[in-house]
Structures are given as structure tokens and as C-alpha cells.
A and B are shown apart, each in its own frame.
Chain A
């Protein structure tokens, strides 16, 4: 009478399936729009635009958009693509345990003959699987467009950047998930994770402006994109820090979740 592994995850995925398809399409569309826009403007026009911009724009990294890799990195991976992945990961992460617990929809899962650990791990797996699907959607779209429009994006570096995005989105989602699981409050999960995301983003951009390199070392956003993986490939240190953040958030949620009162 043992329960097959994946039963809980499959049930949760089944509930999210429509939203998931929507997100996968949305990030593909965003990646397409940014990238398709690049050849029609061309590097030359970007160069003119840049000259007209204030110095701060160059500090913020806008000068990198002169190459296709730099452009895709500065747009899809640093702006809207990353934001969409974050919004999806954080909202889903906070919902998977805390949100559903508040809505009462987990009461029968909790009282079923499965351990709390099992509920926790399988629902966490759903979060990571979702982020993986979004990142795959972006990566595949970019690979196709790169060869179609002859942008010359290197697959290896694209995969490096996508690995970063997976770990970044997954880690931030895990923060929302872990805080939600520890407290049982969806709002707290979303609040903590989005505050962390905003601080991470601000630190990354303020750091060069106010000449404070320590800020980058504390910013998960810098861990992810600070080393320009689309130009420089895998950044082992950054990826390790993101993985560590995910593990800390996961364990930090898992321990109190096993001990606290549920459904209160």
C-alpha cells in the first residue's frame, strides 16, 4: 500500500497545468520579441543611441548591447525574461504549500498516509520543474532565433546563462516556498522573496555607481548575471552561491514545516 513517488507532484502539476502553459508561452514570446527586434535596429543604431545616452547608461551595462550576445543578455536574461521567471517562481513557490494550506486545499494531503517530508519535497520538485520548463522555453526560443536570424549566439554560453537563470529563479522561488512552508503564510513568503529580489537587483546596479563592490557579493542577481555568462560562459562561483541559497532556503523551510501546526 505504499504510495508511488511523484503522486503528489503529479497532482500539483495537474492543478497548475493551464498556468504553466501560459507562462511557458509568455517567456517564449518575450524572448522572441526582444531578439527579433535586434537585427531590425542593428548594432550601428545602438551605437548612435549609446552615444546619446548619459554616462550612467554605460555604467549600467547598456554598452554591452553592441553585440547580439550582449543584447540578449541585457534584455532577455537581465530584464523581462528574468522578471517573468522570478514572478512565476516566487508566486508559485509561495502558493505550493502556504497558499494552498491557507486555502484549505492541502488538508486532505496532510492527513493522508504520506509524510510531511514527502509533501514538502514533491511540491518543491514541482517548483523547480516549472522554472526548468520556463528556462528551457527561453533557451529553445533563443537557439532557434539565433540560427534563423544568424545572430551567432554560442549554444554553450547560452546554456551557461540559462543554467544561471534556472538557479536564480529556482533559488528565489525556493525562498518563497521555504518561508511559506515555515510560516504557513503565503503573503510572508512572497514578501520575503520579492524583497530579496528587489534588494538583489538594486545592489547589482548600485554597486558600480557608488563604487561599492561588496554589494555585488551579496546580490543573488549579481551571482547570476554579474559575470556576463553569455559573453564569458559558466561562472562556477556564482552558480555555487545560488545553489547554496536554494539549499539554505529549502532546509530552512523544511525543518520548521515538519514541526509546526498545520492548518491554523
Chain B
């Protein structure tokens, strides 16, 4: 079976700006695949190439075994698309717009609108201009899923949803996966995809710099941990612990960066009276800043020719 999405040496220029610089990607059918990268890395550009909104400068794109251009409307009928930045027509109500989009699909999906709207608490009779950012996002989720597409292409699908709705969204993705659909979702935060995606690709400056499973990536990204104790502690106690870096102690407060299991840190901390515990997954943006900072000048060959298959792993600086 052909991969659901395959790009080889994909290049996209906007005038003199190179947005994609030889992107190689393969997403197997039935996968839930995370597409991660900082803002401006080329995520939306890649996605719009999949939908034939953009035409490639060089390289090839295949979606469900076809080039988006040749596949045309028949191919797009099999895709559900959630744009990252969508303007909604202000003069329609949510229901009118969703039914209009179903009509563009020959009526497919119309019967699921009410049910999906109910699941997400979306009021269909409200005009789109009156909707909050979160409610607009619900509209885009409903329209992407309503016709049970074989392939879902979701550009930052949950960025404005509250945690409860993010769970509902996750259920929707699971349902899609169960019926065999492929889900391709982009994000600039790892947390958004880690619970649903099996594997992830990281894109930076228009190239894939890493493809990995989610757990390995999380370990590499690390967490920022803050612990407050009842009485002052000594930094030396924490300094040598495995997976711990950037330990700073100020009186009763200890901050550090944790990679991997928190077990050793917890054991040491438990010797004291812990008043407050806070740990936050690091934004990929930060991770990339770190990549850039640590880079040896000249270590990354910029804009080499559109090379095929994964010679780029070395670019990931540990």
C-alpha cells in the first residue's frame, strides 16, 4: 500500500525566500503522525502543498498515491483539512457554513454536523463573526472530520481549545484511527501531539531534522522543574543527579531542567519538606533555540541540493 503522504526533496520558494528546502517525509497509511517545528519552519507550507493550494518549486509530493495536482477534486474529497489560520465568512452562521461545506462535498458529512457540534458544545445558530477563537476552532474541527475522510490533515488543531475539548478532540482522532484513517497533524508544541501521535517528524528551516517516536523526543526536550521547599536547600545535593542540568538554588527554591525519568530527583527532594512542585514541558521553540545556540558555525550546510533520505540526523545537536 502506498504511503498516505510522501514527499521527496520537496522545495518551495516564495520569491527569493526558501520555505522548504528538500523536505523528505513518509507517513504510512493508518498512522497518527505529528509534524513538529517552530513557527515559520515550513509546516503550513508543506500542508498547503498537500492540498494543491501551493505548487512545488521542485521535488515531488504524493498524497494517497497521487500528486495533489493530478488528483484534483477527487483526491481532495478523500481528505479532511483543518487550516492553521482560517478566516471564517462573518455573515454566515456556524450551521450555514458547515452545511455549505458539506454541499461542496456533494452533501457528504451533513448528517454528522449536529452530532459533532453537540460533542464540542458548538452553537450552530450563532453567526461566525460572534464566535470566540475556541468556538471558531470547533467549526474547523467539525468540518474536517464530518465526512469521515481517509486522510486528515490538521494544522495546529487544538491550539485554542480548553483541556476538556482537547480530550474530546483526542477521542475524535482515536475514532478516525480505528476506522483506518491516517492523521497528519502539525504543532509547534510537543504537548499537543505527544498523547495522540505515534511518531513525529521535526521540521526546521524547511527540512526534516529528525524523525522519532514520541517518547524519545520527549526525553530529549526535557522539562523545566521548579521545587519550593519549606527550608533552604543546598544546590550541591542536586547537582550530580542523572538527567538534571541548569540547577539553580535561591533560598528555598530550586529550579532545574530534567531530561528522562524524574525518579532520582524525586528521591532527593523527598528528603526535604516539599511545599510546591511545578514541572513544565519545554516548548519546542525553546528546544530549537538551544539547537541554534549550540550549533558549531558551519556545521549545518545551508541549502544543499535536494538530497534524498535522511542524511540530516547529524544536525540534531544533543
Number of residues of chain B lying within 8 A (CB) of chain A: 32
**B88 & A105 in contact (Cβ 8 Å cutoff):** yes
CA distance in complex: A8, B103 (Å)? 9
**A18 & B55 in contact (Cβ 8 Å cutoff):** no
**B96 & A14 in contact (Cβ 8 Å cutoff):** yes
How far in angstroms is the closest Cβ of chain B from A117?
Answer: 10
Question: Would you give the 0/1 interface string for B70-100, flagging 1 where the beta carbon is closer than 8 Å to chain A?
Answer: 0011101101010101111101100010001
CA distance in complex: A8, B105 (Å)? 11
Interface segment, one of A107-115, A134-142, A249-257 = A107-115
Q: What's the dominant secondary structure at chain B's contact region?
A: loop
Closest to B103 in A: A7
B residues less than 8 Å from A156 (CB atoms): none
B104 within 8 A of A: yes
**B54 & A264 in contact (Cβ 8 Å cutoff):** yes
Chain A contact patch, size range: 20 to 34
Closest to B106 in A: A1
A residues less than 8 Å from B282 (CB atoms): none
**A108 & B81 in contact (Cβ 8 Å cutoff):** yes
**B103 & A3 in contact (Cβ 8 Å cutoff):** yes
B112 within 8 A of A: no
**A113 & B104 in contact (Cβ 8 Å cutoff):** yes
Closest to B57 in A: A261
B101 within 8 A of A: yes
How far in angstroms is the closest Cβ of chain A from B262?
Answer: 42
Closest to B139 in A: A108
**A112 & B89 in contact (Cβ 8 Å cutoff):** no
Count of CB-CB pairs between chains A and B under 8 Å: 86
**A18 & B91 in contact (Cβ 8 Å cutoff):** yes
How far in angstroms is the closest Cβ of chain B from A259?
Answer: 7
CA distance in complex: A94, B139 (Å)? 27
Interface residues of A in 82-134 (CB under 8 A from B): 100, 103-105, 107-115
Interface residues of A in 161-205 (CB under 8 A from B): none
Q: Which of A3, A15, A17, A107 contacts B87 (CB 8 A)?
A: A107
**B54 & A111 in contact (Cβ 8 Å cutoff):** no
Q: Which of A8, A18, A111 contacts B76 (CB 8 A)?
A: A111
B residues less than 8 Å from A262 (CB atoms): 48, 53-54
B residues less than 8 Å from A108 (CB atoms): 81, 83, 86, 101, 143
**B104 & A1 in contact (Cβ 8 Å cutoff):** no
A residues less than 8 Å from B258 (CB atoms): none
Given known A-B contacts A103-B87, A110-B53, A8 and B104 have beta carbons under 8 A apart: yes
CA distance in complex: A90, B75 (Å)? 35
Q: Which of A11, A100, A111, A113 contacts B100 (CB 8 A)?
A: A11
A residues less than 8 Å from B74 (CB atoms): 113
Closest to A260 in B: B55
A residues less than 8 Å from B89 (CB atoms): 15, 100, 105
**A1 & B108 in contact (Cβ 8 Å cutoff):** yes
How far in angstroms is the closest Cβ of chain B from A171?
Answer: 27
How far in angstroms is the closest Cβ of chain A from B113?
Answer: 14
Q: Can you give 14 contacting A-B residue pairs, CB < 8 Å?
A: A1-B107, A1-B108, A3-B103, A7-B103, A11-B100, A14-B91, A104-B87, A107-B87, A110-B53, A114-B73, A115-B72, A261-B53, A262-B54, A263-B53
8 extra interface residue pairs, beta carbon distance < 8 Å, beyond A100-B87, A108-B81: A3-B103, A4-B103, A7-B103, A7-B104, A15-B89, A15-B91, A110-B53, A111-B76
> Which residue numbers of A lie inside 8 Å of B, CB to CB?
1-4, 7-8, 11, 14-15, 17-18, 100, 103-105, 107-115, 259-264
